[in-house]
Amino acid sequence: MKKMLAALFVASSAASTAGLLAQGLPEARYFTPVRGAENLLSKALVTNHGGPVIVMARVVDIFWGPSFANAASPDYQYAQTLIAFRNQFGGSNGCIQLTNLGAGTPDWFDTSTPPTNVTDATVHAEVQRYLASHAFNASTIYEVFIPSSSYSSSGSSTSCGGPALAYCAYHGSFSSGGNAVIYSIQPYASCSGCKVSGWSAVQNQEHFVCHETREAVTDPYGTTWFDNTGAELDDKCAWSPTPFIGTGGYAYQYEWSNAAGGCVRTR
């Protein structure tokens, strides 16, 4: 799978940010379904539809809520573990590319309290607050984590904790100040539809970070690597086979391989 991903980076086309904005492409969202709502696995190969990939990815973790910065709260260790997961995910394990995902601008602990219902527009605004004091980078995925007291919503659909459970997390893009901003929202996996039995809260979150980060790299604007049903690399393997625990106790999911014609276990 490492060889396959390396091939993706080399073979993909490079579209400029200006061109993407002119085409109106950055406004998009791509969801991880809840358990039981995933599509049946398509055996169709993923193909490059002409869009770009992130060649040298970076990830900024944005922890929104006072509990993440409070050493007395379980959410503090939860956040620290997710940072450690990010740092090894793009480094030693090579799931995405042999690079340090955490080598960009610093992570951010926003100690203000997020609203109960965190809409997609609210996520955009939170990322923009971060960018007001940090340099923008087109190769960075800005990942927003919210506590269990909040939930994410996109239109009438919601994540765990919301009234219309339809997804566990998503990645997307939006236009801001002439830039195409790539982001993900990582709601707390507090419901059975977004959990693997026996896993800790942070392991369940690592699973979705794995899914959304890899897809944001290989299909940042919904124009690059997906199959003829629209399924991205990790969508094709969502929940089946069952996500797994790897080295260090970190959690991952399987990923589609054209070479294998199915889902492969990568760490």
CA-nearest of 187, 193, 213, 200 to 250 is 200
Convert the pLDDT of each residue in 32-63 to its tens digit. 999 987 765 678 999 999 999 998 899 999 99
Phi, psi torsion values for 200, nearest 5 degrees:
-75, 165
Pairwise CA distance, residues 125 & 105, whole Å:
18
Stretches in the chain below the pLDDT threshold 70: 1-24, 39-41, 91-98, 267
For the chain, give the percent of residues with pLDDT over 90. Answer: 79
204 Cβ contact partners less than 8 Å away, ≥ 6 residues apart: 189, 194, 195, 196, 251
CA-nearest of 262, 141, 245, 237 to 200 is 245
Domain housing 180: 2-264
Convert the pLDDT of each residue in 2-30 to its tens digit. 222 323 333 333 345 666 666 667 777 89
Tell me which residue has tokens 């998503």: 170
Q: How many domains does the chain have?
A: 1
